[in-house]
Structure 1
Amino acid sequence: MAKNSSPEGRAPSTRQLRVGELIRRTLSDALQRGDIHDPDLNRMSITVGEVRVTPDLQIATCFVLPLGGKGGDEAIAALKRNKYELRRLVGKVTKLKMTPDLRFLIDKTYDQMDATAAMFADARVQADLIKPDDTE
């Protein structure tokens, strides 16, 4: 099989993007309203930044971040403990034949954005970005 024909190399389909966004909104709403019967999870403020769904819609990887970025391990543990209740809520909303298995990871997007901003602020990088005036 050619490298470009593997599922890992393809861009997500429209259906994957729609299902991922629907799952993201469903989880965000459930966590915000406190629909899950777990006091540990309900006292945390968790942002669901993105949900990526596999091409066969069997697995949904949810990128989450607790408010302030602290307590990520506790948030992941609480979400994993309540995975089946969250999955049931997702199943009600998505109405898919099979509800995807939910996997939770810490969203590192904000850390990467901060690192990129710091890199662009570095004097050496600024010197590379500034080009001498071109005479035309």
Structure 2
Amino acid sequence: MRHKTPIGPTQRQLRVGEQIRHIIVEMLQRGKFGDPLLFDAAHAVTVSEVTVSPDLKQATAYIIKLTGTEMGSMLTALNGEAFAFQKEIAKRLQTRFTPKLRFAGDDSFEKSARIEELLHNLPKAAEED
């Protein structure tokens, strides 16, 4: 999880984040966006996690690139359509405020694969006696 408080996110933050994640995924599957890069976004990216600030006014959706699309251009396209996502979230989320949404790349799987590779390539300890 990407939280900055030592306690961690509250149940409400987790619940709202998961609801927002489901809404974003459904919108990506429908693919009705102005940016042509997002027409096939449901097949190009996956939303791994949505973190919500403690006051529920900010939300960050972390995406993982699945196909050859450049991450930077995908993030630019998604952040350009953030208002469309926010409008749909406002309709479907029962909260006082609609969180301001931004998209960011999730490199946790790449980091874990790199750690796994490093561990795999460690020289084997010589067996003693």
Question: Of Structure 1 and Structure 2, which has the larger fraction of its residues in helix?
Answer: 1
Provide TM-score, normalisation by structure 1.
0.80
* 1:90-129 correspondence runs (5 A): 90-124=89-123, 126-127=124-125
Contact residue 45 and residue 67 of structure 2 kept, 8 A: no
Residue 89 (structure 1) aligns with: 88
Which stretches in structure 1 are left out of the alignment for 5+ residues?
1-6
In 2, Cα distance between equivalents of 1:118 and 1:70: 24
Once structures 1 and 2 are overlaid, which stretch shifts more, 115-124 or 103-112?
A: 115-124
- Look at both structures and tell me which one has the larger radius of gyration over its CA atoms: 1
TM-score (norm 2): 0.84
Deviates more, 1:68-77 or 1:98-107: 68-77
Conserved 8 A contact 2:61-2:103: yes
Q: Where does 1:45-56 land on structure 2 (aligned, <5 Å)?
A: 45-56=44-55
Unaligned stretches of 5+ residues in structure 2: none
Q: How many percent of aligned residue pairs carry the same amino acid?
A: 32
Q: State the 4+ residue runs in structure 1 displaced beyond 4 angstroms.
A: none
Corresponding residue pairs, total: 124
Partner AA of 1:72 in structure 2: M
Distance in 2 (CA, whole Å) between partners of 1:127 and 1:64 is: 38
Question: Please, which of 21, 24, 29 is the counterpart of residue 27 of structure 1?
Answer: 24
Q: What value does the CA root-mean-square deviation take over the aligned residues?
A: 2.2
